[in-house]
Structures are given as C-alpha cells and as structure tokens.
Amino acid sequence: MLTVVWAEAALQLRVLRRTPDRMLPLVVVPLLTAAILTITQNAGRADLAGTAVVGTAIIGIWGFAIYIAGDIIESERWLGTLEGVITTPAPFVVTLLARIATVTAVSFASIAESAFVADVFFGVHPAVHHKLLFTLTLACTWLAMTGTALTMSGLFVLTRAIGTYQNALTYPFYVLSGAVTPISLLPGWLHPLSRIVFLSWSADLLRACMTSGGVADPAKGIIAILVLGVAGAGFGLWSTSVILRRMYRLGTIGHL
C-alpha cells in the first residue's frame, strides 16, 4: 500500500510540473498579499502585516486544494481513464487520498509567497514568535485540509459541472475562515458557522504565533483542527465508498 501512495504522489507532482496552468491559484496569492498590504500600510496599520500574510496564505491553501481536488477527477474523466483508475487493484480512495495530500502540501507554498512579497516589496518582516506551535498548526492544517479536499473530490465524481461548485466553495469559506476579516467582526449569527470551518481555528493560531505575547489555550485550537479534519476525512471516505458502489451498480462511472 505504501508503494501505491508514493507512486500516486510522484504522479501528481509530475502532473503539476507538466501542466503549469494548474498552479494559477498560487499565482494569485502574491497579488492578494500586495493588495492587502498596500491597504494596511497606507492606513498606518503596520501591525496588521502578520494578519495579511496569514490571511492570503489561507486563501491560497484553500483555493488551490479545492481547485486541484476537483481537477483530479475531471481530468481523469476527460482523458477517459477514470474507469480504469477506479477499477485497478489499488483502492481508489487510497490513490485519491495520496494525490490530494500531495496537492495540499504544495498549496502551503502560499505561505512562503506571502512572506516573500511582504519582505521584498514592502519591507515588512512578520516574525514567528512561537515556532513550535506554528509548525504544529501547519501540520494539523495539512491533515485537515487533505481530509476536507477528499470529501470534495469524492462528491465531484457525481457531477460534470465541477467548476461551478469550485467557485461556490471559495469565497464563502474565505469569509467564514476569518482569512478576509477577523471572525470577531462578522455578524454574530455567522460565528457558529465559522467555528465549524477548521481554517478559522488555523487562522487564529497562526496569527497568535506571530505576536510576541502568549497564545491563549493553543491545545483547544489544535484539537478543534484535528477533530474537524478527522470528521471531514471520515465523511469523505464514507461518501466516496457510497458513491462508488452506486456507480458500480448503475454503470455510470464515466457517464452521469
């Protein structure tokens, strides 16, 4: 099984290297960082530099992972290889999970992009004061993002209008995650919805790690990210297996 995982990860890296247009979500991140930092700098709020870097990085992570997660299914369908991939001896869920985990790992390049733009073009040097917690938060976010993207990718098997759903799953989550504005500034009725989005916990912890003060109850945030990530992965595994059984029964893997 480990051989399958490594082979699928290598395959996904080759796909990304040979189709650079799929990296477009990461191209947007530096532009967003520049736009937000321009606003904060001209408003005299240099203290918000760390918030800008974290926010644009989260936008990049979510957007890239959701875009490629759907693209994996769509590209296999257009090439006429989806049926073959699903019916190979290697479990489809394992191959899909390996490819999505690779994509999610690549999406974290948005953090380096945001920090680079802030440093080189704005002379802003957001420091990480709690490096261990910062690293742990990133690792937990990667796991949760992989599980969530698996759910999305499994559901995308059921539709050919993948782009429509990808667009619908971007901007609402940018708001609910607190990437665009702090959750405290959102209407009260949105707060419970924000807290079931794991990225809202990730954003809070990452921002807190970039402040010199102490981090309030970091364990709560880490546990929330992991619980929501495991829930997303569990639902993704279950829904994908149900969808595949239905397609096997109806013979509609390539034709909806």
Residue 256 in any domain: the answer is no
- Whether the Cβ atoms of residue 199 and residue 177 lie closer than 8 Å to each other: yes
Q: What is the pLDDT of residue 253?
A: 64
Q: Which two tokens stand for residue 34?
A: 């520049």
Give 123-127's long-range contacts (Cβ < 8 A, gap of 24+): 124/37, 124/41, 124/46, 124/49, 126/49, 126/50, 126/53, 126/210, 127/210
Q: What is the pTM of this model?
A: 0.87
Q: How far apart are the C-alpha atoms of 177 and 204, rounded to whole Å? A: 9
The pLDDT confidence band at residue 188, using thresholds 50, 70 and 90, is confident
Q: How far apart are the C-alpha atoms of 158 and 238, rounded to whole Å? A: 14
pLDDT at 75 over 80: no
Q: Which stretch of 24-33, 117-126, 157-166, 180-189 has the lowest confidence by average pLDDT? A: 157-166
Amino acid at 121: F
Residue 105 in any domain: the answer is yes
Q: What is the mean pLDDT of residues 51-64?
A: 88
Q: What is the pLDDT of residue 144?
A: 92
Residue 157 in any domain: the answer is yes
The pLDDT confidence band at residue 71, using thresholds 50, 70 and 90, is confident
**Distances 3 to 12, 90, 94, 177, 234 between C-alpha atoms, Å:** 14, 10, 11, 35, 23
Count of domains for the chain: 1
Residue 196 in any domain: the answer is yes
Residue 37 in any domain: the answer is yes
Q: What is the mean pLDDT of residues 199-218?
A: 87
Q: What is the mean pLDDT of residues 183-211?
A: 88
Residue 255 in any domain: the answer is no
Average pLDDT over the chain reads 84
Q: What is the pLDDT of residue 110?
A: 92
Burial class of residue 111, CB neighbours in 10 A (0-12, 13-18, 19+): buried
pLDDT at 138 over 90: yes
Task: Find tokens 């997303």 and name the residue.
Answer: 232
Residue 147 in any domain: the answer is yes
Tens digits of residue pLDDT in 244-255: 777 777 766 665
The pLDDT confidence band at residue 159, using thresholds 50, 70 and 90, is low
Q: Which two tokens stand for residue 3?
A: 């051989």
N-term to C-term CA, the chain? 30
Q: What is the mean pLDDT of residues 41-70?
A: 83
**Distances 166 to 162, 225, 256 between C-alpha atoms, Å:** 6, 22, 19
Q: What is the mean pLDDT of residues 170-196?
A: 84
Domain that holds residue 150: 2-250
- Whether the Cβ atoms of residue 118 and residue 126 lie closer than 8 Å to each other: yes
Q: What percent of the chain has pLDDT over 90?
A: 20
Tens digits of residue pLDDT in 7-37: 888 988 888 888 887 788 888 899 999 988 8
The pLDDT confidence band at residue 109, using thresholds 50, 70 and 90, is very high
Q: What is the mean pLDDT of residues 155-165?
A: 70
Residue 211 in any domain: the answer is yes
